[in-house]
Structure 1
Amino acid sequence: MPIGDRLQQLIDALNISALEFARQLGEKRGEKIYHILHGRLKPRYETLEKILQTYPDLNADWLLRGEGLMFRTLPQTPLSALTLDDRLRNMEFLLFQLNERVALLQQTNDLLQQELEQVVSQHKVINLSYVNHRSDLPTEG
Protein backbone atom coordinates (compact mmCIF):
# COMPACT_ATOMS: atom_id res chain seq x y z
CA MET A 1 0.00 0.00 0.00
CA PRO A 2 1.48 3.38 -0.98
CA ILE A 3 2.42 5.80 1.76
CA GLY A 4 -0.21 8.25 0.52
CA ASP A 5 -2.88 5.67 1.30
CA ARG A 6 -1.43 5.12 4.78
CA LEU A 7 -1.46 8.88 5.39
CA GLN A 8 -5.10 9.00 4.31
CA GLN A 9 -5.88 6.19 6.76
CA LEU A 10 -4.08 8.12 9.49
CA ILE A 11 -6.02 11.30 8.70
CA ASP A 12 -9.27 9.31 8.72
CA ALA A 13 -8.33 7.66 12.04
CA LEU A 14 -7.56 11.06 13.55
CA ASN A 15 -10.93 12.27 12.23
CA ILE A 16 -9.46 15.50 10.83
CA SER A 17 -9.19 17.04 7.38
CA ALA A 18 -6.05 16.89 5.28
CA LEU A 19 -5.71 20.65 5.75
CA GLU A 20 -5.91 20.32 9.55
CA PHE A 21 -3.36 17.49 9.37
CA ALA A 22 -1.02 19.76 7.38
CA ARG A 23 -1.50 22.58 9.87
CA GLN A 24 -0.70 20.29 12.79
CA LEU A 25 2.58 19.55 11.01
CA GLY A 26 3.33 23.28 10.82
CA GLU A 27 2.31 23.76 7.19
CA LYS A 28 0.36 26.91 6.35
CA ARG A 29 -1.33 25.31 3.36
CA GLY A 30 -2.15 21.70 2.66
CA GLU A 31 -0.76 21.48 -0.88
CA LYS A 32 2.16 19.23 0.00
CA ILE A 33 -0.08 16.82 1.92
CA TYR A 34 -2.65 16.78 -0.88
CA HIS A 35 0.08 15.97 -3.41
CA ILE A 36 1.34 13.12 -1.21
CA LEU A 37 -2.20 11.78 -0.71
CA HIS A 38 -2.78 11.75 -4.47
CA GLY A 39 0.57 10.16 -5.32
CA ARG A 40 2.08 13.18 -7.04
CA LEU A 41 4.80 13.54 -4.40
CA LYS A 42 6.63 11.25 -2.02
CA PRO A 43 7.05 12.60 1.50
CA ARG A 44 10.50 13.91 2.33
CA TYR A 45 12.38 12.77 5.40
CA GLU A 46 11.59 16.03 7.19
CA THR A 47 7.87 15.53 6.61
CA LEU A 48 7.97 11.98 7.95
CA GLU A 49 9.93 13.18 10.96
CA LYS A 50 7.34 15.92 11.64
CA ILE A 51 4.52 13.39 11.44
CA LEU A 52 6.23 11.07 13.93
CA GLN A 53 7.02 13.98 16.27
CA THR A 54 3.48 15.33 16.07
CA TYR A 55 1.95 11.90 16.69
CA PRO A 56 4.34 10.11 19.08
CA ASP A 57 2.06 7.06 19.41
CA LEU A 58 2.13 6.51 15.65
CA ASN A 59 3.99 3.33 14.72
CA ALA A 60 6.93 4.31 12.47
CA ASP A 61 7.04 0.80 10.94
CA TRP A 62 3.45 1.19 9.89
CA LEU A 63 4.01 4.67 8.48
CA LEU A 64 7.15 3.81 6.54
CA ARG A 65 6.54 0.20 5.47
CA GLY A 66 2.92 -0.59 6.29
CA GLU A 67 3.96 -3.16 8.89
CA GLY A 68 2.25 -3.61 12.24
CA LEU A 69 -0.53 -1.58 13.74
CA MET A 70 -1.08 2.11 13.03
CA PHE A 71 -0.55 3.13 16.66
CA ARG A 72 1.91 1.67 19.16
CA THR A 73 -0.58 2.05 21.99
CA LEU A 74 -4.33 2.24 22.10
CA PRO A 75 -5.81 5.71 22.47
CA GLN A 76 -6.39 6.79 26.05
CA THR A 77 -10.05 7.38 25.24
CA PRO A 78 -12.24 5.06 27.31
CA LEU A 79 -13.77 2.37 25.12
CA SER A 80 -17.25 3.50 26.13
CA ALA A 81 -16.51 6.95 24.67
CA LEU A 82 -15.90 5.44 21.24
CA THR A 83 -18.95 5.21 19.03
CA LEU A 84 -19.98 1.93 17.53
CA ASP A 85 -18.90 3.23 14.12
CA ASP A 86 -15.44 4.05 15.50
CA ARG A 87 -15.10 0.57 16.96
CA LEU A 88 -16.26 -1.01 13.71
CA ARG A 89 -13.77 1.10 11.73
CA ASN A 90 -10.99 0.03 14.08
CA MET A 91 -11.98 -3.61 13.74
CA GLU A 92 -12.19 -3.34 9.95
CA PHE A 93 -8.76 -1.78 9.87
CA LEU A 94 -7.30 -4.49 12.12
CA LEU A 95 -8.87 -7.19 9.95
CA PHE A 96 -7.47 -5.55 6.83
CA GLN A 97 -3.99 -5.48 8.37
CA LEU A 98 -4.29 -9.11 9.48
CA ASN A 99 -5.41 -10.17 5.99
CA GLU A 100 -2.41 -8.37 4.47
CA ARG A 101 -0.12 -10.07 6.99
CA VAL A 102 -1.62 -13.50 6.24
CA ALA A 103 -1.18 -12.93 2.50
CA LEU A 104 2.45 -11.94 3.04
CA LEU A 105 3.06 -14.99 5.24
CA GLN A 106 1.44 -17.23 2.60
CA GLN A 107 3.72 -15.78 -0.10
CA THR A 108 6.74 -16.33 2.12
CA ASN A 109 5.60 -19.87 2.89
CA ASP A 110 5.15 -20.63 -0.83
CA LEU A 111 8.65 -19.32 -1.61
CA LEU A 112 10.19 -21.34 1.20
CA GLN A 113 8.33 -24.45 0.02
CA GLN A 114 9.74 -23.97 -3.50
CA GLU A 115 13.26 -23.50 -2.14
CA LEU A 116 12.91 -26.61 0.01
CA GLU A 117 11.73 -28.65 -2.98
CA GLN A 118 14.75 -27.42 -4.97
CA VAL A 119 17.15 -28.34 -2.17
CA VAL A 120 15.61 -31.79 -1.78
CA SER A 121 15.75 -32.31 -5.55
CA GLN A 122 19.41 -31.26 -5.68
CA HIS A 123 20.20 -33.52 -2.73
CA LYS A 124 18.64 -36.50 -4.54
CA VAL A 125 20.70 -35.74 -7.67
CA ILE A 126 23.90 -35.45 -5.64
CA ASN A 127 23.09 -38.61 -3.68
CA LEU A 128 22.28 -40.56 -6.86
CA SER A 129 25.48 -39.29 -8.47
CA TYR A 130 27.44 -40.44 -5.43
CA VAL A 131 25.83 -43.90 -5.52
CA ASN A 132 26.55 -44.24 -9.25
CA HIS A 133 30.12 -43.13 -8.73
CA ARG A 134 30.62 -45.64 -5.91
CA SER A 135 29.28 -48.49 -8.07
CA ASP A 136 31.88 -47.63 -10.74
CA LEU A 137 34.73 -48.20 -8.29
CA PRO A 138 36.40 -51.62 -8.31
CA THR A 139 35.61 -53.75 -5.32
CA GLU A 140 38.35 -55.21 -3.19
CA GLY A 141 38.41 -58.88 -2.83
Structure 2
Amino acid sequence: MTIEIRLQQLIDALNVSVLEFARQLGEHRGEKVYHILHGRLKPRYDTLEKILTAYPQINADWLLRGEGLMFKQLSSPSAAITTEERLRNMEFLLFQLNERMALLQQTNDQLLAELAALKANR
Protein backbone atom coordinates (compact mmCIF):
# COMPACT_ATOMS: atom_id res chain seq x y z
CA MET A 1 0.00 0.00 0.00
CA THR A 2 1.40 3.37 -0.97
CA ILE A 3 1.90 6.38 1.29
CA GLU A 4 -0.79 8.18 -0.72
CA ILE A 5 -3.35 5.50 0.10
CA ARG A 6 -2.31 5.44 3.76
CA LEU A 7 -2.67 9.22 4.02
CA GLN A 8 -6.12 9.09 2.44
CA GLN A 9 -7.13 6.31 4.84
CA LEU A 10 -5.79 8.38 7.73
CA ILE A 11 -7.72 11.49 6.70
CA ASP A 12 -10.85 9.36 6.34
CA ALA A 13 -10.28 7.69 9.72
CA LEU A 14 -9.73 11.05 11.42
CA ASN A 15 -12.96 12.24 9.78
CA VAL A 16 -11.44 15.57 8.71
CA SER A 17 -11.30 17.32 5.37
CA VAL A 18 -8.06 17.50 3.43
CA LEU A 19 -7.98 21.24 4.13
CA GLU A 20 -8.43 20.73 7.89
CA PHE A 21 -5.75 18.03 7.84
CA ALA A 22 -3.38 20.42 6.03
CA ARG A 23 -4.15 23.20 8.52
CA GLN A 24 -3.28 20.88 11.40
CA LEU A 25 0.14 20.53 9.75
CA GLY A 26 0.57 24.30 9.64
CA GLU A 27 -0.38 24.69 5.98
CA HIS A 28 -2.76 27.51 5.09
CA ARG A 29 -3.95 25.77 1.94
CA GLY A 30 -4.38 22.12 1.16
CA GLU A 31 -2.45 22.07 -2.10
CA LYS A 32 0.58 20.17 -0.79
CA VAL A 33 -1.61 17.46 0.74
CA TYR A 34 -3.73 17.23 -2.42
CA HIS A 35 -0.57 16.81 -4.50
CA ILE A 36 0.65 14.05 -2.16
CA LEU A 37 -2.72 12.28 -2.26
CA HIS A 38 -2.71 12.34 -6.06
CA GLY A 39 0.88 11.10 -6.35
CA ARG A 40 2.33 14.30 -7.76
CA LEU A 41 4.51 14.80 -4.66
CA LYS A 42 6.04 12.46 -2.14
CA PRO A 43 5.78 13.59 1.48
CA ARG A 44 9.03 14.99 2.80
CA TYR A 45 10.43 14.11 6.20
CA ASP A 46 9.24 17.37 7.73
CA THR A 47 5.69 16.71 6.51
CA LEU A 48 5.67 13.23 8.04
CA GLU A 49 7.08 14.66 11.26
CA LYS A 50 4.31 17.30 11.33
CA ILE A 51 1.67 14.59 10.86
CA LEU A 52 3.05 12.56 13.78
CA THR A 53 3.28 15.69 15.94
CA ALA A 54 -0.22 16.91 15.10
CA TYR A 55 -1.71 13.44 15.59
CA PRO A 56 0.35 11.63 18.25
CA GLN A 57 -2.07 8.71 18.27
CA ILE A 58 -0.84 7.66 14.82
CA ASN A 59 1.47 4.67 14.64
CA ALA A 60 4.64 5.85 12.84
CA ASP A 61 5.38 2.33 11.53
CA TRP A 62 1.99 2.27 9.87
CA LEU A 63 2.39 5.74 8.40
CA LEU A 64 5.89 5.17 7.04
CA ARG A 65 5.80 1.51 6.03
CA GLY A 66 2.22 0.32 6.30
CA GLU A 67 3.06 -2.03 9.18
CA GLY A 68 0.87 -2.54 12.22
CA LEU A 69 -2.22 -0.63 13.22
CA MET A 70 -3.07 2.86 12.08
CA PHE A 71 -3.37 4.07 15.65
CA LYS A 72 -1.13 3.32 18.61
CA GLN A 73 -2.29 1.03 21.35
CA LEU A 74 -1.62 3.24 24.35
CA SER A 75 -1.32 1.64 27.74
CA SER A 76 -2.28 4.43 30.14
CA PRO A 77 -6.04 4.91 30.65
CA SER A 78 -5.78 8.68 30.26
CA ALA A 79 -4.20 8.27 26.82
CA ALA A 80 -6.33 5.36 25.64
CA ILE A 81 -7.59 5.48 22.09
CA THR A 82 -11.31 5.88 21.65
CA THR A 83 -13.70 3.08 20.81
CA GLU A 84 -14.19 4.67 17.39
CA GLU A 85 -10.43 4.57 16.73
CA ARG A 86 -10.32 0.94 17.82
CA LEU A 87 -13.19 0.17 15.47
CA ARG A 88 -11.31 1.86 12.61
CA ASN A 89 -8.22 -0.19 13.50
CA MET A 90 -10.27 -3.38 13.38
CA GLU A 91 -11.86 -2.40 10.06
CA PHE A 92 -8.42 -1.68 8.64
CA LEU A 93 -7.06 -5.01 9.90
CA LEU A 94 -10.03 -6.83 8.35
CA PHE A 95 -9.37 -5.03 5.07
CA GLN A 96 -5.71 -6.12 5.18
CA LEU A 97 -6.68 -9.70 6.03
CA ASN A 98 -9.16 -9.81 3.15
CA GLU A 99 -6.46 -8.58 0.76
CA ARG A 100 -4.04 -11.24 2.02
CA MET A 101 -6.69 -13.96 1.79
CA ALA A 102 -7.45 -13.00 -1.81
CA LEU A 103 -3.75 -13.12 -2.66
CA LEU A 104 -3.35 -16.51 -0.95
CA GLN A 105 -6.41 -17.85 -2.79
CA GLN A 106 -4.99 -16.64 -6.10
CA THR A 107 -1.63 -18.29 -5.35
CA ASN A 108 -3.38 -21.49 -4.31
CA ASP A 109 -5.43 -21.54 -7.53
CA GLN A 110 -2.27 -21.05 -9.61
CA LEU A 111 -0.47 -23.86 -7.79
CA LEU A 112 -3.44 -26.20 -8.26
CA ALA A 113 -3.52 -25.38 -11.98
CA GLU A 114 0.23 -26.05 -12.27
CA LEU A 115 -0.16 -29.34 -10.40
CA ALA A 116 -3.02 -30.40 -12.66
CA ALA A 117 -0.93 -29.54 -15.73
CA LEU A 118 2.00 -31.60 -14.40
CA LYS A 119 -0.29 -34.57 -13.75
CA ALA A 120 -1.78 -34.27 -17.25
CA ASN A 121 1.69 -34.32 -18.84
CA ARG A 122 2.60 -37.63 -17.20
Global fold match (TM > 0.5)? yes
Q: Partners of 1:25 and 1:90 in 2: how far apart?
A: 23
Find the counterpart in structure 2 of residue 9 from structure 1.
9
1:21 to 1:49, Cα distance in 2 relative to 1, 3 A: same
Matched, 1:20 2:14: no
1:93 shift after superposition: 1.6
| Aligned partner letter, 2:97 | L
Aligned residues: 98
Which structure has the larger Rg?
1
Structure 1, unaligned stretches of length 5 or more? 107-141
TM-score, normalised on structure 2?
Answer: 0.69
Q: Partners of 1:60 and 1:11 in 2: how far apart?
A: 15
Matched, 1:97 2:96: yes
In structure 2, the residue corresponding to 1:7 is in which secondary structure? helix
Find the counterpart in structure 1 of residue 40 from structure 2.
40
Percent identity reads 78
1:97 shift after superposition: 2.4
Q: CA RMSD in A?
A: 2.4
Which one scores higher on RCO, CA 8 angstroms, separation ≥ 6?
A: 2
Q: Partners of 2:49 and 2:100 in 1: how far apart?
A: 26
| Aligned partner letter, 1:9 | Q
1:98 shift after superposition: 2.9
Q: Partners of 2:68 and 2:34 in 1: how far apart?
A: 25
Task: Give CA deviations for 1:121-141 in whole Å, capped at 9, x if unaligned.
Answer: xxxxxxxxxxxxxxxxxxxxx
| Aligned partner letter, 1:65 | R
Q: Partners of 2:71 and 2:89 in 1: how far apart?
A: 11
Q: Partners of 1:102 and 1:55 in 2: how far apart?
A: 31
